[in-house]
Amino acid sequence: MILESEEHQKNTIEEVSKKFLIVGLGNIGGEYVNTRHNIGFKVLDYIASKHGVSFETAKLGVVAEISIKGRKLILLKPNTYMNLSGKAVQYWMQKENISKENLLIITDDLNLAFGTIRIKGKGTDGGHNGLKNIQLLLNTSEYPRFRFGISDEFKKGQQIDYVLGEWNAVEKEKLPERFELGKQIVESFALAGLNETMNSFNGK
């Protein structure tokens, strides 16, 4: 019986380790769809479309599931608005029994040039309200994040308008290639792990 229990425990741990929560940050509402702040939503939309799955309304967000080589990826777009993103992240981590090592947050970043990718296992919130709330509710800054550069090409006092503004023509042209890279990053995170993904994709 002890052996059976240990085997069951081992299987449960393996199942948990093969489950991932991929969270794209953004704001709900038609007026935000194509804004820079919603890049997290856009990357997840691209991944879902390439895997032929649709998002369904669930508690605190919309969710889609994909499977890659035995890994289950839960794609989550919180509907809490950006500054309460942590509420949705915390709920789905608990519901699906997902560790912070298997959590990946996709977010925009003003401190990086447009399209620049930075993947890290921990870090500060960088003044980002979504990350700030996630850190508050998870009580840690040590969770994987995939930051997508949106640059800081705005005049003093124009930050909010810039972040909530739409992509310019040059950026729109380059976004599809960046979305494809985002898909590769998410799949690599689930299959190869954080360190391998950072080594392969940072700076691309």
Active-site pick, 8, 37, 51, 128: 37
Residue with tokens 């939309």: 45
Contact predicate 109/126, CB 8 Å: yes
Contact predicate 58/140, CB 8 Å: no
Q: Which amino acid is at 49?
A: S
Helix (H, G, I), strand (E, B) or coil at 100: helix
Element (H, E) at 159: helix 159-163
Q: Is 128 a catalytic residue?
A: no
DSSP characters over 64-119? EEEEETTEEEEEEEESS-GGGHHHHHHHHHHHHT--GGGEEEEEEETTS-TT-EEE
Contact predicate 136/89, CB 8 Å: no
Cα separation values, 169 from 30, 32, 82, 88, 174, Å: 20, 17, 25, 33, 9
CA 62, CA 44: separation in Å to the nearest integer?
A: 11
Q: Which amino acid is at 86?
A: G
- Active-site positions? 37
